[in-house]
Amino acid sequence: MGSCFSVRIKAESPLHHGADPKSGSKGGYDASGTSSTVPSTPRTEGEILQSSNLKSFSFGELKAATRNFRPDSVLGEGGFGCVYKGWIDEHSLTPARPGTGMVIAVKRLNQESFQGHQEWLTEINFLGQLYHPNLVKLIGYCLEDDHRLLVYEFMPKGSLENHLFRRASYVQPLSWNLRIKIALDAAKGLAFLHSDKAKVIYRDLKASNILLDSNYNAKLSDFGLAKDGPTGSKSHVSTRVMGTYGYAAPEYMATGHLTKKSDIYSFGVVLLEILSGRRAIDKSKPSREQNLVDWARPYLGSKRKVFQVMDARLEGQYSLKDALKAANLAVQCLSTEPRFRPKVEELVKALELLLESNDNEESRGSQSEKPRKRYRSSSNDPKNRRSTKEISAGKAASNPKPTASPLRA
């Protein structure tokens, strides 16, 4: 089953200029690509469409591939529109009978949405030129009359969001190793975007935009908010403030200044969701626990308290040392000072070591760590907040209390 849309909450300020708005995530996918150098970003719609290495589908072809956009073909929906499951021949890319050929996910734009058109074009601009095993593959698009659609590879395991937050009996919780592997895959995708080959700021890193193939390989999706990074001597890109509550970096929300470190903050939020099994913003929780970052921060650097943040479904699957390493990595990403956040290459290295550490312990059959007790989250949040300025083997350093986040639901 593919992933669903997630409705994005936008924060827009008339004081900031630039940018495009955004809505949701998409259906599934499943192939790997190879990284490539991105040519200069085209400026006009015609140049973008002509320069992309994508198939131009007719509306009739996609109508046939999705069985006339039947309701039972819907994978999900959101502000952008609906995502449908379809089938095409993997060689000719023509419509195929259900159950034959290659499965695809078709995202159909709401026809009255001008903002959606800008994001539709942005996705083609970036995914028509960017290829990497940890980026979702865009197969083609449709631009016919008022119809605008995007065609992606299908990701059978859906989104990370569904695996972390669904509590249905038929949903198996992700193991510790799988969670760290997914975080590593996402970091690798982000590292490619931030590299000199791409020079792209993702601006929409969240659990619903991380899609999983049949082997739980993770890929970043939904590039409608992506921006070219700063050029020359510029340190940032000035843009209208947009994003999803709970994920966007506080300095970006306050100033509209977008940098690579904005993505690193968002990665820290996702990593915290992976470790805790909690949503970045959850209105069903008591008021003090609704914002995950604010609630978890006091516990993350403490050997005695870190388990209050960890997902109870992971009990017994990790060592205290690894829990602290992962927690401290999240804290560093969430630093209120962007310069203290690690580079994405450092994230990749730290997660590789963390995954390797747990693999080695399992291969040795180590029984040195007893199964973890389940801890209840405290409703009384300590006032002292801790952080780290280095990725360390479990030692947390003190950090000043962060400024209040402007992100509120």
Active site residues: 204
Residue 307 phi/psi, 5-degree rounding, is -70, -15
Q: How many CB atoms lie within 10 A of CB 34?
A: 7
CA–CA distance, 334 with 264 (Å, rounded to integer): 8
Answer for the pair 251, 404: CB distance below 8 angstroms, yes or no: no
Our separate counts of H helices and E strands in the chain read: 10, 15
- Cβ within 8 Å of residue 310, ≥6 positions away: 275, 276, 318, 323, 372, 375
CA–CA distance, 198 with 209 (Å, rounded to integer): 19
Q: How many CB atoms lie within 10 A of CB 71?
A: 7
Please name the residue ranges forming H helices in 175-228: 176-194
Burial, 321: exposed, middle or buried (Cβ in 10 Å; 0-12, 13-18, 19+)? middle
26 marked as binding residue: no
Helix or strand (DSSP H, E) at 218: strand 218-220
Q: Which residues are annotated as a binding site for ATP?
A: 107
Q: Which residues are annotated as a binding site?
A: 107
